Chains A and B, each alone.
Chain A
């Protein structure tokens, strides 16, 4: 599984134009801001119709079985959503009866290490970034997550510049050290 996950990033990406780098990084900064400012409907608009939002389970394995570290595409996972399911999450998070997010969490997405691999079509890019998501809620609850996001971005005509077609979240935890995952990575 790890091999499949890593395929676009087996080799160091060739250098791309600074403009493209800047565009993608600004897209991510804006996406993070929407999430952290709880502008969920606008964040949803950044997602493609065929969005696949996927977060496999990560396990602890001995070296000999390192290939089994991540759950497979037909295995249980933390998230495996299509557009319809994310829409349902949106309905939940924006309702006032979603107790896990009413009162809402305070989140901060720090996104870094953005690397872009030229997609075949030059309108689709494979992007790797790393994140630290800090989540604080109620009086004293603090959760910190780190990991890598492997995205497929597509150019669009909108002034966002891109839409998110696929996101695979590789979390740096096996047992999730939080009582829920009520936010988006």
Chain B
């Protein structure tokens, strides 16, 4: 599509305009009533920049009008910017074949206007054709209330000043746009007439920005047409005066507007009251997608996507926050922006203004809850992501393990929003103890405070970004940045800035600490989450805690970590590791670990004498991606892995008895063997063997494994020592079992360099349709121990997180929690 239309730009442009108009006419509801059209006309500088050579057309909607008394919420739009301009209100038809400057001037009066422009194209990365499909970046507008007849008006000589809270932020002259606003109006009148929809009385024409867009930005636009005739066919709202030619009524309501009904301002715009807050977000989205289909030159669309109709209204709000380029909200939150338009000939001032609602100020040190940037740099659409995992058939698209775009999205949508393992409480038991870790690829400091609290904060100085602490761990009362000496206390609060009084007199230290994560623990394990909207840890873990307790709750004394964390690099995607510990007893029961078992067998005994266990189950969390599995009653594998002393401690004697009592059954306390488990996304452990690890992603092709061992705090010393030596022997970089996992995952990743290797799905069918949810002992979705059900749960939850803009959307997909059995 791109190639053919780029060969014929006119074809492309007509198509785009038809799409835009067609989209407009499909939405007859009040909010999306066609209000007019507008163009994207560039000033010369902008024309050069965009390669435009003439103006372009778009559509204005009724709900774009705002009243001066209203408060504009920047969150309603995608990437808003504000412009000041002159608007013309027409009092006569402009449909004659011989339109000229005189005839348009006679037909129009001038009012001051502010427009909030917006773009559906991500990053305002607009090509000429996009201005049509993008509806010329229409957003919202406010009209002033003092119309001036054009006769005798020296528009090009008029001076424009835009202020925000009294401070001048932009200025220009009427000469900026086309040299003469009336020339712009004339062009539009002729174009509209030629398109078969001439300007009519009551139409309002926004004639283009008079000065640099606030904030100073590249291009300005002119000339928009209010298509009042379309409005009248769609009906009127109460009190609206549409197309009646009564100009005073059109503009004066701005003065008397401002009656608010609750949170919904009414009688808002000059061209009609009842401007609703986008009541039909789905239709709006369809319109936006229709008006700016992806095929148009491949521009990415800045839409707010959602798969939850139930959450439509909140989804409509949760669009992407302004890009770094649009600082409207950044600069003017809570401000009153005023546009004063001083006419050259009589010195009288026409003005209008609008108030911009303060954005919920992101606390400088609080968690950033917005998943706002997701997908902006990714070529993956939510719909495409959902197709990567086919849960019903058991198919996995191999690109989930290799694609850079997906990985970048994972950093935001998975690692930016999930509870991630930081370590064990006993690793930082004394005040001042700290260790450094990672959340995704963000380095963090995990620090025990004097009051016992644990804080986790980004290991990044807010001044110029230097890593605050470069040690693996230790004990410290404070951390000092090595670059300029900014110092932070052990909780990550900025406490000292050299020469502050002299050189940073206005610096408020409490605003410049590093980002803090939420921190919660579960029976000794420390988790952290960047997302303020994520559920608490307990809710997040759900029914998986039942299975975590097999390792963490065997004694009232709880667990402690053996000191020391082993770290090593495996060049593979994190999901291979997470899936294997979640769902793959199959590899242990077949070929992968034969030699590991051999290494632990008594002298003279051979593998052939060992029958792999056959009794066991696998658990898949009904929601959340967690999974686990274990053998029941057959100790052979545990024996081969951990040796006779640990096998005995786990299955017989006082510790086992206590565990059985706490967990509610002898089976759960003494007979579950070789359990594997993953808490989504990257916390994995082996109850019984007691190795715990986090898989830290380092790009799609690499992880770091950070592993440690936990033991019952009240276990005899020689048992703790035995756990230490045996886990070290079996599950570590040199572990006789783990060595071979590294081999498999590495080679998989290598093969996936191939194009064909990525072209067909992997088989994840094992155990399809062989689940139950009514096991009398084990809650959740239960299947045979050799199954990929838990993997299907992990991957489908991954796809869910990757295609949901926020936790509100995610929470809407979670089944209602009921009694134990179904969670």
Residues of A at the B interface (CB closer than 8 Å) are 55, 57, 59-62, 64-65, 68, 71-72, 74-81, 85, 87-89, 91-92, 95, 97-101, 138-139, 141, 174-182
Q: Which residues of A contact B591 (CB under 8 A)?
A: 97
29 contacts between A and B (CB under 8 A): A57-B565, A57-B566, A61-B473, A64-B474, A65-B475, A68-B474, A74-B563, A76-B562, A76-B708, A76-B728, A79-B734, A80-B728, A80-B729, A81-B729, A89-B599, A91-B595, A95-B594, A95-B595, A98-B595, A98-B739, A99-B592, A99-B740, A101-B739, A174-B567, A177-B568, A178-B569, A179-B733, A180-B734, A182-B739
A2 shortest CB reach to chain B, Å: 15
- Contact, CB under 8 Å: A88 / B742: no
CB pair B742–A175 under 8 Å, yes or no, is no
Q: Specify the chain A residue showing the minimal Cβ separation from B725.
A: A80
- List the A side residues contacting B747 at CB < 8 Å: 138
| Chain B residues proximal to chain A, CB less than 8 Å | 470-475, 562-572, 591-592, 594-596, 598-601, 603, 607, 704, 708-709, 721, 724-725, 728-729, 732-734, 736, 738-740, 742-747, 750
Cα–Cα distance between A100 and B735 once the two chains are bound (Å):
11
Known A80-B724, A81-B729, A100-B743; further 7 A-B contacts with Cβ < 8 A: A72-B563, A85-B725, A88-B729, A100-B742, A138-B747, A141-B746, A182-B739
A174 touches B472 (CB 8 A): yes
Distance in angstroms between the alpha carbons of A138 and B743 in the assembled complex: 10
Q: Note all chain B residues with C-beta closer than 8 A to A178.
A: 568-569, 733
A92 and B596 in contact (CB under 8 A), knowing A61-B474, A100-B742, A181-B733?
Answer: yes
Known: A99-B592, A174-B567. A59 touches B728 (CB 8 A): no
- CB-defined contacts of A79 to chain B, threshold 8 Å: 728, 734
Using Cβ atoms and an 8 Å threshold, which residues of chain B touch A72? Answer: 563
Q: Which of A77, A91, A175 contacts B599 (CB 8 A)?
A: A91
In the bound complex, residues from chain B placing their C-beta under 8 Å from that of A176 are: 566-569, 733
Of A55, A78, A139, A175, which is within 8 A of B569 by CB? A175
Smallest distance from the beta carbon of B575 to chain A beta carbons, Å? Answer: 16
**Beta-carbon contact of A179 and B728 below 8 Å:** no
Q: Nearest-CB distance from A123 to chain B (Å)?
A: 29
Q: Is A60 a contact of B470 with CB atoms below 8 Å?
A: yes
* A180 adjacent to B472 (CB under 8 Å): no
Q: Is the Cβ of B472 less than 8 Å from the Cβ of A75?
A: no
Do B724 and A76 touch (CB < 8 A)?
A: yes
Kindly identify which residue among B475, B594, B736, B743 contacts A89, using a CB–CB cutoff of 8 Å: B736
Q: In the assembled complex, how far is the CB of residue B574 from the closest CB belonging to chain A, in whole angstroms?
A: 14
Bound-state Cα–Cα, A81 to B732, Å: 13
Compute how far the CA of A85 lies from the CA of B750 in the bound complex, rounded to whole angstroms: 32
- Identify A179's interface contact among B565, B596, B746, CB under 8 A: B746
A88/B470 in contact, CB under 8 A: no
Chain B residues, Cβ within 8 Å of A88:
598-601, 729, 736
Docked complex Cα distance between A141 and B747 (Å) = 10
A176 vs B706: C-alpha distance when bound (angstroms) = 10
Complex Cα–Cα for A138 and B749 (A):
14
Contacts of B740 in A (CB 8 A): 98-100
With a cutoff of 8 Å between Cβ atoms, the chain B residues found around residue A87 in the complex are 603
**CB-based contact A180/B724 at 8 Å:** no
CA distance A85 to B564 in the complex (A): 21
Chain A, Cβ-Cβ closest to B704: A175
Q: A78 with B471: in contact, given A88-B600, A92-B598 (CB under 8 Å)?
A: no
Given contacts A78-B734, A180-B733, A180-B739, whether A71 and B599 have CB atoms under 8 Å apart is no
Q: Among the interface residues A65, A79, A91, A180, which one has the most CB atoms of the partner chain B within 10 A?
A: A180
Instruction: List A contacts of B572 (CB < 8 A).
Output: 179
Pick the contact of B738 from A139, A175, A180 — CB < 8 Å?
A: A180
- Cβ of A59 and Cβ of B736 under 8 Å apart? no
Q: Which of A59, A68, A97, A177 contacts B595 (CB 8 A)?
A: A97
Give the residues in chain B near A55, CB-CB below 8 Å: 734
CA distance A101 to B599 in the complex (A): 14
Note all chain B residues with C-beta closer than 8 A to A75.
Answer: 562-564, 724
